[in-house]
Chains A and B, each alone.
Chain A
Amino acid sequence: MTGPVLELVCPAGTPAALRAAVNAGAHTVYCGFADETNARNFPGLNFSRDELAAGVAYAHRAGSKVLVAINTFPRAGAEELWHRAVADAHAAGADAVIVADLGLLAHAAERHPGLRRHLSVQAAAANPDAINFYAETFGVKRVVLPRVLSVEEITAINRDIDVETEVFVFGGLCVMAEGRCSLSSYATGLSPNMNGVCSPASHVVYTEEQGELVSRLGDFTIHKVAKDAPAPYPTLCKGCFSAGGQTGHVFEDPISLDAAELIPRLAKAGVVALKIEGRQRSRAYVAAVVKSFRRATDAIAAGRPVPASELAYLTEGQTSTLGAYRKTWR
């Protein structure tokens, strides 16, 4: 008995990570240009035009695909930068672009009709009507589903749409509907939508106060831990706050998504691609995660049970969650 072949979509923050992901068995890698056009606009990360062309050639020789994320919301008066990113991804031979903005989707559909378009998770299309709107209006072929849906809801969505769905299975976890969050810019002036960064390191300050390590984002304290304890990165929505007489992780614990055990159910739900978050991660991390998930997708394709995830050591704070895929998360 055999099962569906699930496409493993893997992060590549650098050309070295792209090669590591391809060598580890990634069916597909995704990456972005080194500027504000993509949602992982971190120093030292991402691809020049030449690096992308070389990366595409490398991946294609190995039978892997390359997707280019152009998934921030173009700045008014500067749309040309995003338009050029789409044109250059097309010219480099990318297999698809991952786009969130309505105006950019319209531009890509009109000017690059031959370039496959995926809807970014940043568009947060969370139901069949929204997905069908993007499919009919812009010819979108695949939708990356926002991390707000349960497996049951994903199953129902796939019954009512004709395009492919891709879901996140591992890595950082947005607690908020993606692309609809200004928490980071409220504290720092920089946001995922406008600048491609969330809780940016440029605005993080660690200080030692009364035997505690305090991490601040902008003017706001996000964590305090004992001086020698490991301090989680101060991502705003994973911070420790007080509300209603309680102190704790009001929004979410410092925790990562690991949905490896749900892969068989996601396959049954009609999902075609599994996405791993982490373009900011090292190539060693990428290689380890890709290898582990490739064993899982190979097992599904062969009709074998999925091996237990061995990736706990890679997740933030050593704990992981099934996130919104399990309805009680809400």
Chain B
Amino acid sequence: MRLTLGPMLYNWSADQWSDFYARIADEAPVERVVLGEVVCSKRLPFYQNRIPDAVERLQRGGKEVVLASLGLVTLRRERKMLAELAESGLPVEVNDLTMLRYLEPGTQFTVGPLVNVYNEGTLGFLANRGATTVCLPPELGLDSVTTLAAAGARLGTGIEVWAFGRLPLAMSARCYHARLAGLAKDSCQFVCDADPDGLAVETLDGQPFLAVNGVQTVSESWANMAGDLDQLSDAGVGALRLSPHTGDMVEVARLFRAAADQRIGPDEAIAGLAALAPERRFSNGFLFGRSGAEWTH
């Protein structure tokens, strides 16, 4: 089982960003790292000039580096970003099908979880276009994952699932961070930088529910599949995606590595992850066809 560190979805300062990837490069037992901006094109300029150094350091650390494309593309400036991405010389993770227009025929690419790959027909289409790995939409249950992994095996496309971190649930044209601050999106003052894991949204009963991350809505709970790796492995899943958060992501990766290699059991893996951040609630309901917020362990 391979481990992929997904793209940083939150607005961290450039220094935090660089420090985070330096430590990942040197210490995290992950095979692949996806770098770049998926959520908001306005955030990229703050750390864009840090990307080349991070790429080099991650590659020196033995990691395969993939550059992420933006998740919802509407502006001309954003299309230009995609064109530049296609010429970067590095493999690209497609997070919006717009990116396909910029990849030369025959170019290999990976597909991120925001692209709707729900069935064999779509997987086959993307495989024929050059998809080598597809991270499935998090709302898919184990039956679909199993069917798609079998199809992927026939097509030569690896299947990855969302295994750790707040779930990406929706994208909008509207920025909720700006809306909550009483600001327009175009003059947002980058208020999302105050919430490095997103801003929690509670129900009127004070029940934790969702979190906002600029134009993105994520779950309040942290998805955690560390207790379900046997079933994912049996289903034919080849890679697990860990989504960057504050706290000790290197240790998160080590625990998933140990659990995937069966050096520790599921209970120990879950306990280890809980100990890293006891206040976080976990969820894995999507995998079992239940509401995504549920936790079966």
Known contacts A103-B120, A126-B72; is-contact A187 B171 (Cβ 8 Å)? no
Contact of B139 with A by CB under 8 A: yes
Question: In whole angstroms, what is the CA distance A130 to B72 when docked?
Answer: 11
Question: In whole angstroms, what is the CA distance A254 to B279 when docked?
Answer: 32
> In the complex, which residues of chain A have a beta carbon less than 8 angstroms from the beta carbon of B78?
127
B-to-A contact residues, CB < 8 Å: 71-76, 78-79, 82, 96-98, 100-102, 114, 116, 118-126, 137-140, 143-144, 147-148, 151, 167, 169-176, 178-181, 184-186, 199-207, 209-210, 212, 217, 219, 285-286, 289-293
A221 touches B203 (CB 8 A): yes
Name A72's closest neighbour in chain B (CB-CB): B118
Known contacts A126-B72, A130-B98; is-contact A148 B172 (Cβ 8 Å)? yes
> In the complex, which residues of chain B have a beta carbon less than 8 angstroms from the beta carbon of A251?
172, 174, 176, 217
A101 touches B118 (CB 8 A): yes
Question: In whole angstroms, what is the CA distance A218 to B178 when docked?
Answer: 28
Question: In whole angstroms, what is the CA distance A66 to B148 when docked?
Answer: 34
Name A179's closest neighbour in chain B (CB-CB): B116
> In the complex, which residues of chain A have a beta carbon less than 8 angstroms from the beta carbon of B174?
175, 251-252, 324, 329-330
> In the complex, which residues of chain B have a beta carbon less than 8 angstroms from the beta carbon of A241?
201-204, 209-210
B292 touches A126 (CB 8 A): no
> In the complex, which residues of chain B have a beta carbon less than 8 angstroms from the beta carbon of A224?
204
The residue among A175, A218, A244 with the most chain B CB atoms within 10 A of its own CB is A244
Contact of A107 with B by CB under 8 A: yes
B74 touches A149 (CB 8 A): yes
Name A128's closest neighbour in chain B (CB-CB): B79
CB < 8 Å neighbour of A330 from B101, B175, B205: B175
Name B219's closest neighbour in chain A (CB-CB): A186
B101 touches A77 (CB 8 A): no
Known contacts A176-B172, A241-B201, A241-B203; is-contact A74 B118 (Cβ 8 Å)? yes
A129 touches B79 (CB 8 A): yes
Whole-angstrom distance between the Cβ of B128 and the nearest chain A Cβ: 9
> In the complex, which residues of chain B have a beta carbon less than 8 angstroms from the beta carbon of A77?
119-120, 143-144, 147
CB < 8 Å neighbour of A186 from B118, B122, B199, B293: B293
Known contacts A189-B292, A219-B293, A243-B199; is-contact A180 B170 (Cβ 8 Å)? yes
B72 touches A102 (CB 8 A): no
B120 touches A133 (CB 8 A): no
Given contacts A103-B124, A185-B291, A327-B186, 13 further A-B contacts (CB under 8 A): A77-B144, A102-B116, A103-B123, A127-B74, A130-B96, A130-B97, A180-B116, A182-B169, A194-B118, A240-B204, A242-B201, A242-B202, A329-B173
Question: In whole angstroms, what is the CA distance A175 to B72 when docked?
Answer: 14
B98 touches A182 (CB 8 A): no
In the complex, the number of residue pairs spanning A and B with C-beta atoms less than 8 Å apart equals 215
Question: In whole angstroms, what is the CA distance A251 to B176 when docked?
Answer: 7
Whole-angstrom distance between the Cβ of B137 and the nearest chain A Cβ: 7
Question: In whole angstroms, what is the CA distance A237 to B209 when docked?
Answer: 12
Whole-angstrom distance between the Cβ of A214 and the nearest chain B Cβ: 8
> In the complex, which residues of chain B have a beta carbon less than 8 angstroms from the beta carbon of A181?
169-171
Whole-angstrom distance between the Cβ of B197 and the nearest chain A Cβ: 14
B173 touches A148 (CB 8 A): yes
> In the complex, which residues of chain A have a beta carbon less than 8 angstroms from the beta carbon of B209?
220, 241
Known contacts A102-B121, A194-B118, A324-B173; is-contact A188 B291 (Cβ 8 Å)? yes
Number of interface residues of A (CB under 8 A): 66
A101 touches B122 (CB 8 A): yes
Whole-angstrom distance between the Cβ of B295 and the nearest chain A Cβ: 12
B-contact bits for A144-183, CB 8 A (1 contact / 0 none): 0000110001001000000000000000000111011111
A127 touches B79 (CB 8 A): yes
> In the complex, which residues of chain B have a beta carbon less than 8 angstroms from the beta carbon of A324?
173-174
B-contact bits for A208-225, CB 8 A (1 contact / 0 none): 000000000011111110
Task: List 28 A-B pairs, Cβ < 8 Å.
Answer: A73-B119, A74-B118, A76-B143, A76-B147, A100-B116, A102-B125, A103-B125, A106-B125, A124-B72, A126-B98, A127-B75, A127-B98, A133-B98, A175-B174, A176-B217, A180-B116, A182-B138, A182-B167, A182-B169, A183-B170, A183-B210, A194-B118, A219-B207, A219-B291, A220-B207, A241-B202, A243-B199, A330-B178
A175 touches B200 (CB 8 A): no
The residue among B75, B184, B292 with the most chain A CB atoms within 10 A of its own CB is B292
CB < 8 Å neighbour of B171 from A73, A132, A180: A180
Question: In whole angstroms, what is the CA distance A224 to B116 when docked?
Answer: 34
A79 touches B73 (CB 8 A): no
Contact of A246 with B by CB under 8 A: yes
Question: In whole angstroms, what is the CA distance A219 to B209 when docked?
Answer: 10
Contact of A2 with B by CB under 8 A: no
Question: In whole angstroms, what is the CA distance A205 to B152 when docked?
Answer: 40
List 10 A-B pairs, minimum CB-CB distance, nearest first. Answer: A103-B121, A148-B173, A103-B122, A186-B292, A73-B118, A76-B147, A330-B185, A176-B170, A76-B144, A181-B170
Question: In whole angstroms, what is the CA distance A128 to B122 when docked?
Answer: 21
Contact of A75 with B by CB under 8 A: yes
Contact of A39 with B by CB under 8 A: no
Whole-angstrom distance between the Cβ of A101 and the nearest chain B Cβ: 6
> In the complex, which residues of chain A have a beta carbon less than 8 angstroms from the beta carbon of B72?
124, 126, 148, 177, 180
